Chains A and B, each alone.
Chain A
Amino acid sequence: MRYLPLTDSDRSDMLAVIGAADIDALFVDVPASARLTGPVDLPGQAGELAVERTLGLLAGRNRAAGAGPFFCGAGAYRHHVPASVDHLIQRSEFLTSYTPYQPEIAQGTLQVLFEFQTQVSALLGLPVANASMYDGSTACAEAVMMAARVTRRRKAVLSGGLHPHYAATTRTLAHSAGIETRRLAPAVDAESAVLAAIDADTACVVVQTPNVFGTVTDVTAIAEAARAAGALMIVVTTEAVSLGLLKSPGEMGADIAVAEGQSIGNGLNFGGPYVGLFACREALLRQMPGRLCGETVDAEGRRGFVLTLSTREQHIRRDKATSNICTNSGLCALAFSIHMSLLGGTGLTTLARINHARALTLKQALAAIRGVEILTPRLFNEFAVRLPRAAAPIVEALAGKGVIGGVPFSRLDPDEGFDDVLLVCATETTTAEDISVFAKTLAEEIAR
Chain B
Amino acid sequence: MRFTKDHEWVDLTGDTATIGITAYAAEQLGDVVFVELPAAGKSVKTGEALAVVESVKAASDVFAPISGEVQAANGALEGNPETVNDSPEHAGWFVKLKVADPAEVEALMDRAAYETFLQTL
- Interface of A toward B, CB cutoff 8 Å: 286, 308, 310-311, 316-317, 320
**Interface of chain B, main secondary structure:** strand
B103 CB within 8 Å of chain A: no
CB distance from A104 to the nearest CB of B (A): 16
Q: Which residues of A contact B54 (CB under 8 A)?
A: 311
Mark contacts of B57-93 with chain A using CB atoms, 8 A cut-off: 1 yes-contact digit, 0 otherwise.
Answer: 1110000000000000000000000000000000000
Are A316's CB and B59's CB within 8 A? yes
Are A310's CB and B57's CB within 8 A? yes
Which A-chain residue is minimally distant from B57 (CB atoms)?
A316
Which B-chain residue is minimally distant from A286 (CB atoms)?
B34
Q: Which residues of B contact A320 (CB under 8 A)?
A: 59
CB distance from B41 to the nearest CB of A (A): 14
Are B34's CB and A310's CB within 8 A? no
Residues of B within 8 Å of A, CB-based: how many? 8
Q: In the bound complex, how far is the Cα of B56 from the Cα of A308, in angstroms? A: 8
- Interface of B toward A, CB cutoff 8 Å: 33-34, 54-59
Q: In the bound complex, how far is the Cα of B59 from the Cα of A310, in angstroms? A: 10
CB distance from B37 to the nearest CB of A (A): 12
**Other A-B pairs, 11, CB within 8 Å; known A311-B33, A311-B56:** A286-B34, A308-B56, A310-B56, A310-B57, A311-B34, A311-B54, A311-B55, A311-B57, A311-B58, A316-B58, A316-B59
Are A317's CB and B59's CB within 8 A? yes
| Leading 8 A-B pairs by shortest Cβ distance | A311-B54, A311-B59, A317-B59, A316-B59, A316-B58, A316-B57, A311-B58, A286-B34
Q: In the bound complex, how far is the Cα of B59 from the Cα of A286, in angstroms? A: 13
Q: Report 17 cross-chain contacts, Cβ distance below 8 Å, ordered by A residue.
A: A286-B34, A308-B56, A310-B56, A310-B57, A311-B33, A311-B34, A311-B54, A311-B55, A311-B56, A311-B57, A311-B58, A311-B59, A316-B57, A316-B58, A316-B59, A317-B59, A320-B59
Q: Which residues of A contact B58 (CB under 8 A)?
A: 311, 316
Which A-chain residue is minimally distant from B61 (CB atoms)?
A320
Q: Which residues of A contact B33 (CB under 8 A)?
A: 311
Q: In the bound complex, how far is the Cα of B58 from the Cα of A286, in angstroms? A: 15
Which B-chain residue is minimally distant from A320 (CB atoms)?
B59
Q: In the bound complex, how far is the Cα of B54 from the Cα of A316, in angstroms? A: 10
Which B-chain residue is minimally distant from A315 (CB atoms)?
B57
Q: In the bound complex, how far is the Cα of B58 from the Cα of A320, in angstroms? A: 12
Which B-chain residue is minimally distant from A306 (CB atoms)?
B56
Q: Which residues of B contact A286 (CB under 8 A)?
A: 34
